[in-house]
Amino acid sequence: MRDKRMTEDEVVSRLRSGMTIGVGGWGSRRKPMSLIRAILRSDLKDLTVVTFGGPDVGLLCAAGKVRKLVFGFVSLDTIPLDPHFRRARQTGAIEVAEFDEGMLQLGLYAASIRMPFLPTRVGLGSLVLDANPDLRMVANPYGKGEFVAMPALHLDVALVHMNRADAAGNAQYLGPDPYFDDLFCAAAEQAYVSCERIVDTEELTRHAHPSTVRISRMYVTGVVEAPNGAHFTSCVPDYGRDEAFQRRYVEAAADPASWSAFVREFLSGDEADYQRAVAALAAPAAKES
């Protein structure tokens, strides 16, 4: 069995400015945040980001890493809108390609099965066609009607965070929803999976059905053990969303000074520094209780 273990920084060393990067998870749920934080520490820029957006988008926008966002929405779930994403749009700082979320799924699926496009009626009559002038239509060859030819969304890189994985990259979700993480991996040239814990392969299915091992190692380039790596997004059943921290993230976006203070406190060191700073926030509360 190949050992694909590596660190976040090793993953980021394989990325290049200008790449198209797909980010797994959904909204503020099971986002590969430790990998995102590693990108924030890097010199990477001009990225095209494809995602069911959450704070991954906000953080990358705030750090000026995004040239173009391919998205259907950006939300923090319990807080409907991400302030950094809003600012990036309202100042014209990023390009966007906005699609219905179902079209994103189709585009990733098309890339994963090496089809140039898949037909759909979704998008017809909506801003999706105006905002994406390159979208082409396809005539129904068997009957009436013109459909949207949703192009394959090819990714240079996929970044996802799962609950467990083995060292070869077989990766497992243990929460309620796999989201689209396996599709992101299958649509990418290189796929990197971070996870809460790397375990022996037997461990993956000792208490869980094999269907929870949603990502097969044949799609995976590298595996990163990243405990609490999805923080502050949810990663159930390992942990829920850190709502207090998410609020802090949103409040810090209010002005440049408070954002610099947030960056100084949490994002100026490495991942271990981040996790220590987060743990330090929780510590006084733990003492009181």
Partner 1 sequence: MSPAPADRAEICVVACAEAFRGNGEILGAPIGIVPIIGARLARATFEPDLLLTDGEAHLVYGTWPVGEPPSGATEGWLPYRAVFDVVWSGRRHVIMTPSQIDSYGNTNISAIGDYARPTVQLLGVRGAPGNAVSHPTSYWVPKHSRRVFVPRVDSVSGVGWDNARKAGPAATEFMDLRVVITDLGVFDWETETRQMRIRSVHPGVTVDEVLAATGFPLIVGDEVPTTREPDETELRLIREVIDPHGARYREVKV
Positions touching partner 1 (CB under 8 A) are 26, 52-53, 71-75, 80-81, 85-86, 89-92, 98-103, 105, 120-128, 130-131, 140, 144-147, 176-180, 183
Cβ closest to partner 1, residue 90 vs residue 289: 90
> Is-contact 128 104, C-beta < 8 A?
no
Work out the angle at residue 62's Cα, subtended by the Cα atoms of residues 49 and 92, and round it to the nearest 5 degrees: 75
Q: At closest approach, how far in Å is the CB of 282 from partner 1?
A: 24
> Smaller CB distance to partner 1: residue 85 or 266?
85
DSSP string of 211-266, one letter each residue: GG--B-GGG-SEEEE-TTTTTTSBBTTTB---HHHHHHHHHHTTSHHHHHHHIIII
Query: Residue 226 is which amino acid?
Result: A
**What's the CA gap between 281 and 258, in Å, rounded?**
17
Q: Minimum distance from CB of 82 to partner 1 (Å)?
A: 9
Query: In terms of CB distance, is 27 or 222 closer to partner 1?
Result: 27
Closer to partner 1 by Cβ: residue 8 or 82: 82
What is the closest distance, in whole angstroms, from the C-beta atom of residue 182 to partner 1 in the complex?
9
Q: In angstroms, what is the minimal distance from the CB of 152 to partner 1?
A: 17
HSE at residue 20, side-chain half, CA atoms within 13 A, is 16
Considering the complex, state which of residue 128 and residue 193 has its C-beta at the smaller distance from partner 1.
Answer: 128
Query: Whole-number minimum distance, CB 19 to partner 1, in Å?
Result: 23
Q: What are phi and psi of 246, to 5 degrees?
A: -60, -40
Query: Minimum distance between the CB of residue 107 and partner 1, rounded to whole angstroms?
Result: 12
What three-state secondary structure class fits 40? Answer: helix
Token output for 151 = 């192009």
Give Cα 200 to chain centroid, integer Å: 25
| Shortest spacing between CB 177 and partner 1, in angstroms | 4
- Tokens for 31? 């986002």
Q: Which residue lies nearer to partner 1 by CB, 212 or 275?
A: 212
Of 85 and 274, nearer to partner 1 (C-beta) is: 85
The CA distance from 233 to 129, in Å, is 32
Distance (Å, whole) CA 187 – CA 180: 11
